[in-house]
Amino acid sequence: MYAAFVEPARRTSWEVPQFEDYRQVGIGVTEAQQWFAASIIPEDVLRFRKMHMTVEEALSWGLRADMVERFKALRFTKTEARKWALAPIWPDHAVIWRHAGYTPAEAAELVAAAADPADALVWMLMVESPEEAIDLKRQGCAPFPILDRVDPD
């Protein structure tokens, strides 16, 4: 899978913070200290600032800047985005699963069973509920029965 959440910067006690990278982002020392203290890397700082976010707002999402950008572009709320990222489901896949009526937990269960995210739309047409799709997937059924009979050799 992927690491959706902001990872704290790995620092040792003898390292002195280097603000040159933050200066290249175009921020002052005081603001750089705030971003650095929040363990948000300069590349993410630039993205968060383009979204007009403060350090506190960026931290409240709890996700990397690229994930926040994508979830926001797909019109997910902060709460929804965090649930899908915890599943863990990529934003572009989450929008498909959500449209098909699946919860993050249901989508994660089907993904764990090696279902393709696009299967959600097929399952939606074939079954009455996400629960039925999960039951069929547990039984080893594919969304297209013919696929079960194809010999990979």
Q: Are residues 91 and 42 both part of a single domain? A: no
Residue 12 in 3-state DSSP?
coil
Domain co-membership, 98 together with 147: yes
In a domain, 132, yes or no: yes
Say if residue 55 is in the same domain as residue 82. no
Q: State yes or no: pLDDT of 150 exceeds 60.
A: no
Instruction: Assess whether 46 and 91 both reside in one domain.
Output: no
Q: How confident is the model at residue 9 (pLDDT cuts 50, 70, 90)?
A: low
39: which 2 tokens? 């363990």
pLDDT per position as a tens digit, 22-45? 778 888 878 888 898 898 988 899
Q: Which two tokens stand for residue 33?
A: 């200290």
Domain of residue 148, residue span: 77-153
Q: What's the pLDDT tens digit per position in 78-135?
A: 999 999 999 988 899 899 888 888 899 988 887 776 666 666 667 667 777 777 877 8
pTM: 0.68
84 and 150 share a domain?
yes
Q: Which of 34, 61, 88 is the last residue of a domain?
A: 61
Looking at the structure, do residues 56 and 87 belong to the same domain, yes or no?
no
Question: Closest Cα partner for 74 from 50, 54, 89, 94?
Answer: 94
